[in-house]
Structure 1
Amino acid sequence: MISRRGFLRLVGGSFFSMVSLGAYAVGIEPMLLTHVTRYSLTPPNWPAGLRLRIVALADIHACRPWMTPERIASLVRDANALQPDLIVLLGDYTASMRLVTDGVPASEWAQALSGLKAPLGVLSILGNHDWWSDPEAQKAGAGPVVARRALEHVGIPVLENDVVRLEKDGHGFWIAGLADQLAFLPSQDHDGFKGLDDLDGTLAKASDGAPVILLAHEPDIFPKVPRRVSLTLCGHTHGGQVRLFGYSPVVPSRFGNRFAYGHVVEENRNLIVSGGLGFSILPVRFGMRPEILSIELGPA
């Protein structure tokens, strides 16, 4: 039988462990040096002579003290140092979290992102928080949202149900950007969230047989993505922000852990979901460090 003194030591030790764990999850892991997560794959029907390096940043959620313009500028330097052919931004630049000391105006985070450089350029899409944080767009039921205007002001194109054809080493390929699937909050006009995404219409704009890389903020679109798409890149989930032994207790997806994080292959189709850089709801990360993706496509 455990003694009274032993019981008190156990309780005290457990309490200290819980406090320490909470302090780490809130104050340390979210601010750790950003991890570079690397993937290397050759999708089906990928051109043999096309070797492409894509660097992806997702879910910045600019705010103070967690994601300041200075920290974003540091992430930009880290991304450029990876020497990508192309940089893509996967949405959610704004923060809707209440536990912040101050917001970061769109002009400031966009200016920090303007330092991104790659030979084939920088392309972006929007996320749900970029729409939700714009009351005028919510009221009007249409954009452009503040985030889009800020990105375009610093020269970063925003793809909303649109495509861009790029070329490297004599091989063409398409980048398709999907409009957000949760753009409008529930209102008197409609129940539930309302999206602006048009997958079929977007892919129809890729007018030849060159490979397609799809940018979509939320990964829930993936079951509908046809095999023509070589790779789908998403953010939104933050890897659940808390992830233990490959499992995230809470994932903002109707598919739960199926598309929570990482490289998913289904029916010979490829999806990569970023764990993101910032956070929403709570400033907590545990087992899911902020990350930048570096993706090598094509044979080594």
Structure 2
Amino acid sequence: MSLRTRLQGRFQLMAAALVTVVQLPPVLWLCWLTRTPLPALAALGVSWPYLKQLQSPWTTTPRAPSTYVALGWWSACLVFDVLMLPALLAIRAGTPADATWGLAGAVALLLGGDAVLGRPRLRRRTVRIAGLPPELDGYRIGQLSDVHCGPHVPEEKVAGWVSRLNGLGLDLVTVTGDLITHGSSHVEAVARALGGLRAKDGAYVSMGNHDYFTDGEQLVRELERNGLHVLRNRGVVVRRGEARLYVAGVDDTWTSRHDLSRALAARPEGSPTVLLAHDPDLFPQAVERGVELTLSGHTHGGQLGVPGIRRLSLARVITEWTAGLYRRGRSWLYVNRGAGTTGPPVRLGAPPELAVITLRRE
């Protein structure tokens, strides 16, 4: 079985599982309420046309009316799922006041999770590094991840994220993979938008698994043509006065293109290192090699989870590094929740984000 066939099968299974999990509670409830199987048949009729066009993640199907109907239906199902348990608890509370508070809490939970993909939050984090040269104290690194430019994330939206980062006067800006959703239709668009990134020491990109759901070489050519530095198992030295910062990037892990040893081969001795690795599961290897800061994405923070509790999200299925900042010894990892989405453009408990990491001496 070829790699593409295995990835396609995994993609289909994940899509079908997500559809089933999101739809099942409201469909069963409606079947019970109407005492007929009609809601289940309607859900199947809505979902099948959309799932059919997702059979191959390597081609982009233009958005059709059936797509909008399916996404609207799934979003309604998701809202029902989120509100169902708190509503039942509120009803059982026994008093109108308790019921009101219970339902208000449910609505707050939904809104706090950014159920519909909206404006990314700007998250600022500080990483303290022992022996950081004075010239790099206060050095600010911007991170954009999981752009997923495609039918639901047009070029104009990506350009808006770029503009927000540009307005911060960053020292370095990074994009940690999954620039597109799939197919070739948005390769030039995302390269144009990201080509607008500006920082004192330049803009650097690492590849993600979705970036090979098309011709990855074409994507790299377009990115570099628009002035971006694509780090595929290599690194570069950034200088600030007498200080040196090594910025490295690894290629995609899902297609086994990654090679951390090669990425770090040119690292000057004693220089602090920033590693761009789309997949956070590379963090333990980065720790072994003394990498001070690893910037990752890939997880979307689970995209669906419990607001405020990063352990309770779908990302736990694929990794222990779900979202946010982690530390092992002198090594740090930041897992960006990403700005875009895959599948339905819906998030819960994992709002989209842009990140700024500030380096400080420890």
TM-score with structure 2 length normalisation? 0.65
How many Å separate the matches in 1 of 2:271 and 2:201?
16
CA contact (8 A) 1:64 1:104 kept: no
Q: Is 1:37 matched with 2:123? A: yes
| Aligned counterpart, 1:292 | 354
**SS of 2:134 mapped into structure 1:** coil
Give the whole-Å Cα distance in 1 for the aligned partners of 2:295 and 2:317.
15
| CA RMSD after TM alignment | 3.0
Q: Does 1:162 align with 2:162?
A: no
Relative to structure 1, is the Cα distance of residues 208 and 216 closer, same or farther in structure 2, using a 3 angstrom cutoff?
same
Q: Is the 8 A contact 2:109 2:307 kept in 1?
A: no
Contact 1:87 1:116 in 2 (8 A): yes
TM-score for both structures, normalised by structure 1: 0.78
Q: Which amino acid aligns with 1:83?
A: G
CA offset at residue 180 of structure 1? 0.8
Q: 1:296 to 1:175 in 2, by over 3 A?
A: same
Is the counterpart of residue 263 in structure 1 residue 325 in structure 2?
Answer: yes
Letter in 2 for 1:151: L
More helix by share: 2
Q: Deviations over 1:270-294 (max 9, x none)?
A: 1111010011133221122111111
What is aligned with 1:57?
A: 144
Partner Cα separation in structure 2 for residue 151 and residue 121 of structure 1: 13
Higher Cα Rg, which structure? 2
State the identity as a percent: 30
Provide closer, same or farther for how the CA distance between residues 287 and 255 of structure 1 changes in structure 2, counting only shifts above 3 A.
closer
CA distance in 2, matches of 1:253, 1:54: 29
Q: Residue 239 of structure 1 aligns with which residue?
A: 301
Residues 102-153 of structure 1, C-alpha deviation per residue, up to 9 Å, x if partnerless?
x85211111111111111000101100001x12xx5xxxxx52x32122112
**243-252 vs 281-290, greater mean Cα deviation:** 243-252
The residue number in structure 2 matching 1:47 is 133
Contact 1:62 1:104 in 2 (8 A): no
Q: Unpaired runs of 5+ in structure 1?
A: 1-6, 98-102, 138-142, 184-194
Kept after mapping to 2: 8 A contact 1:227/1:268: no
What are the superposed Cα offsets for residues 80-105 of structure 1, whole Å, 9 maximum, x if unpaired? 111100101101011149xxxxx852
Code of the residue aligned with 2:177 in structure 1: it is: G
Change (3 A) 1:206 1:45: same
Identify the residue that residue 251 of structure 1 maps to in structure 2. 315
Aligned partner letter, 2:191:
A
Separation of aligned partners in 1, 2:130 and 2:186:
42
Q: Superposition pairs for residues 36-185 of structure 1, below 5 Å?
A: 36-51=122-137, 52-65=139-152, 67-96=153-182, 104-131=185-212, 133-134=213-214, 144=217, 146-183=218-255
- State how far apart, in whole Å, the 1-side matches of 2:275 and 2:298 are: 15
Structure 2, unpaired ranges of 5+: 1-87, 93-98
